Amino acid sequence: MSLVLLLVYLHLLGLAGAILALVIRAKRKSLKFLQGPPSPSLLLGHESEFNSVRKVGSLEDNWFNEYGTAFRTAGCYGEDILMLSDPRGLQHIFHKSAYRYPKPKDINNITLKLFGPGLVVVGGETHHRQRKLLNPAFSAAQTKPFAEVFASCATSLARKWQDEIVAKKAPGQPGTIIDTVRWLPNMALDALGESLFEYEFGALEGTRISVLCDIIRDLFIDSRNVNEFRLLRQAAYRFLPTSIARLLDIKKTKQDKRFAHWLKTSRGIADELVKSKTEGSGTDGRNDFMSILSRALYVNVPEKGMSPSEALSQMATVIFAGHETTASTLSWIFYEVAMHPKEQEILFKEIKSVREQTGNANEPLLVKDLEGMAHLNRVIRETLRFHPIVPDLFREADVDDVIPLDNPVVDASGSVLTQVPVVKGQRVHASIYGYNRNKELWGEDADQWNPNRFTNNKKPTTLGMFGNLMTFSGGVRGCIGWRFAILEMQVVLATLIESFVFSIPEGVEVEQVRPGLGSPMRKGRWAEGTQMPLMVALRAGGL
């Protein structure tokens, strides 16, 4: 039998097996007692719609209005998926249940290709061990000194933008159009390298490392508008034993090739870094990232250390998760302040007044001053609420369970439910977007960007790593780098607002699109890929 025929045969065999297994299992995990939108396809459910390029919210906004914060959607092969944005339900899954709602196998299969066996991928005991080792590198005490590095990177970016404006400003225009998604990731990569790895990536200067930014920018191109066969193949991972599901994976997709290229490049860079930074060091009790990795690599007790593959995976993970995420959120912050000139001016005045009060005219702002800027922090928090760069998280119950709800829902028979019973294996689609836009929690104007909602400091609920938002997720698997991200955003926002005035270029409307990490795309021009073109003008007396 030729190889091609064998592959076709294996695919068909796998597909047939998958369909059979899925039909049986999907029947067992029924959520039919819940209400939910009708499935548009018996085989694909709503998953094809979630995978085609769409503005975040365009599919689910109506569902939240109609069915509330817990309802049933359709997955591939007729599987029922619990879509959840209820605060208590999310609290139960992410905070209280610790490792009892692991990440689903199909998602781990994809993230394993992206990162290797690092923190984002591994579960249970292995995750606990890795996280315990790495936590000290992201503590408040360890993070605060990075403010200086962030300020230096933000100032380098400001100088580059100033040169762009001077060189390209057209007559009659206030400044020049700058596509922030071409710049902010490079700045954030430099900030990450210098702070966590004590290494100069030189991404802003365009040295060889900017290749990483180029790879990342296009990383999810083939993850959008995924064809139906691939979706079904991916979904089969949820139900089949991994060894059998892997047979379906023999033929590499374009996405697989892109991810492999990224992983090879990032781990290659990580390898160089580990060799140059950790040899013979790391035993002195320091808690910086590289010292921790070094100790973990050289420790003689396996259950207290890390294998070389794990260590390289942590670096690939942090290189990716630690810069693109913050850069994407920063792009949305500048978009929103450009859309809201009054808020931008309040922000500038706040920074100016802190400079006057402290007598610090030119030096980088201190962390305590940044933390004390109420409006600056409201702008960051509101943007994190309004533009969560990860709008969905997926989990799977590993025991039969009952999920409590804050907001009762009406079931299919008209009865009111205050909890949802689920069986082992039930897939949960946690809608971060839905929780962050919940009108009961955030007010009737929850679908507007309005930093002043936080003025009275009322806490709607206690959830997540920061600001009662789910944007950094929460619990044992919540974002390890949230303090790092907040500090970096505080520094970069203050530095750039002191130097520039942002506005929206004529005719430009930007939308947050799924899939991707908060990908901004121009309305009606999605084919042009991610972009965030903003008019950037020099501020009088800035820089």
* CA neighbor of 498 nearest in space, from 274, 162, 202: 162
Query: Binding of ligand HEM at residue 393 (CB under 6 A)?
Result: yes
Q: Tell me whether residue 135 or residue 227 sits nearer to ligand HEM (CB atom).
A: 135
Q: Tell me whether residue 442 or residue 484 sits nearer to ligand HEM (CB atom).
A: 484
Q: Are 435 and 392 in contact (CB under 8 A)?
A: no
Least distance from C-beta 469 to ligand HEM, angstroms?
A: 9
Residue of 73, 326, 438, 519 that binds ligand HEM (CB under 6 A): 326
Residue of 234, 329, 377, 436 that binds ligand HEM (CB under 6 A): 329
Q: What are phi and psi of 265, to 5 degrees?
A: -65, -45
Which DSSP category does 206 fall into?
T
Residues in contact with ligand HEM, counted by CB under 6 A, come to a total of 22
Binding segment (CB under 6 A) for ligand HEM, from list 68-76, 361-369, 388-396, 422-430: 388-396
Q: Which residues pair with 72 in a beta bridge?
A: 82
| Residue ranges in 413-472 that form contacts with ligand HEM under rule CB under 6 A | 471-472
Q: Using the CB atoms, write b or e for 253-288: b if 16+ within 10 Å.
A: bebeebbeebbebbbebbeebbeebbeeebeeebeb
Q: ω before 515 within 30° of 0 (cis)?
A: yes
- For the chain, the helix, strand and coil percentages under 3-state DSSP, each to the nearest 5: 55, 10, 35
Residues ≥6 apart with Cβ < 8 Å to 518 = 325, 328, 329, 331, 332, 387, 388, 389, 390, 512
**135: how many CB neighbours lie within 10 A of its CB?**
13
| Residue ranges in 147-176 that form contacts with ligand HEM under rule CB under 6 A | none
Q: Tell me whether residue 212 or residue 485 sits nearer to ligand HEM (CB atom).
A: 485
Q: Tell me whether residue 181 or residue 538 sits nearer to ligand HEM (CB atom).
A: 181
Query: Binding of ligand HEM at residue 119 (CB under 6 A)?
Result: yes
Residue of 73, 108, 143, 317 that binds ligand HEM (CB under 6 A): 317
Q: Whole-angstrom Cα distance, residue 301 to residue 14?
A: 41
Q: Tell me whether residue 317 or residue 468 sits nearer to ligand HEM (CB atom).
A: 317
What amino acid is encoded at 458 in this protein?
K
Query: Binding of ligand HEM at residue 354 (CB under 6 A)?
Result: no
Least distance from C-beta 473 to ligand HEM, angstroms?
A: 4
Residue of 93, 158, 316, 321 that binds ligand HEM (CB under 6 A): 321
Residue of 322, 434, 451, 520 that binds ligand HEM (CB under 6 A): 322
Least distance from C-beta 9 to ligand HEM, angstroms?
A: 35
Q: Tell me whether residue 67 or residue 433 sits nearer to ligand HEM (CB atom).
A: 433
Binding segment (CB under 6 A) for ligand HEM, from list 7-15, 246-254, 319-327, 501-509: 319-327
Least distance from C-beta 103 to ligand HEM, angstroms?
A: 6
Check whether 76 is labelled as a binding-site residue. no
Q: Tell me whether residue 393 or residue 491 sits nearer to ligand HEM (CB atom).
A: 393
Binding segment (CB under 6 A) for ligand HEM, from list 3-11, 297-305, 387-395, 447-455: 387-395
Q: Are 280 and 294 in contact (CB under 8 A)?
A: no
Q: Tell me whether residue 294 or residue 383 sits nearer to ligand HEM (CB atom).
A: 383
Q: Whole-angstrom Cα distance, residue 216 to residue 229?
A: 25
Q: Are 435 and 405 in contact (CB under 8 A)?
A: no
Q: Whole-angstrom Cα distance, residue 152 to residue 154?
A: 6
Q: What are phi and psi of 177, to 5 degrees?
A: -85, 125
Q: Tell me whether residue 96 or residue 251 sits nearer to ligand HEM (CB atom).
A: 96
Least distance from C-beta 131 to ligand HEM, angstroms?
A: 5
Binding segment (CB under 6 A) for ligand HEM, from list 8-16, 71-79, 214-222, 321-329: 321-329
| Residue ranges in 179-208 that form contacts with ligand HEM under rule CB under 6 A | none
DSSP per residue, 90-159 = HIIIIIITGGGSPPPHHHHHHHHHHH-SSTTT--HHHHHHHHHHHGGGGSHHHHGGGHHHHHHHHHHHHH
Least distance from C-beta 219 to ligand HEM, angstroms?
A: 16
Binding map of ligand HEM across residues 463-502, x = CB under 6 A, - = no contact: --------xxx---x-xxx--xx-----------------
Q: Tell me whether residue 140 or residue 361 sits nearer to ligand HEM (CB atom).
A: 140
Q: Whole-angstrom Cα distance, residue 391 to residue 514?
A: 8
The residue of the chain with the least Cβ separation from ligand HEM equals: 481
Q: Whole-angstrom Cα distance, residue 437 to residue 328?
A: 19
* CA neighbor of 231 nearest in space, from 92, 48, 429: 48
Sign of CA dihedral 310, 314, 320, 321: positive
Residues ≥6 apart with Cβ < 8 Å to 17 = 240, 244
Q: Are 154 and 495 in contact (CB under 8 A)?
A: yes
Least distance from C-beta 321 to ligand HEM, angstroms?
A: 4
Binding map of ligand HEM across residues 241-270, x = CB under 6 A, - = no contact: ------------------------------
**167: how many CB neighbours lie within 10 A of its CB?**
8
Residue of 95, 100, 105, 131 that binds ligand HEM (CB under 6 A): 131
Q: Which residues bind ligand HEM (CB under 6 A)?
A: 119-120, 131, 317-318, 321-322, 325-326, 329, 389-390, 393, 471-473, 477, 479-481, 484-485
Question: What residue numbers does the annotated binding site for heme cover?
Answer: 479
Question: What residue numbers does the annotated binding site cover?
Answer: 479
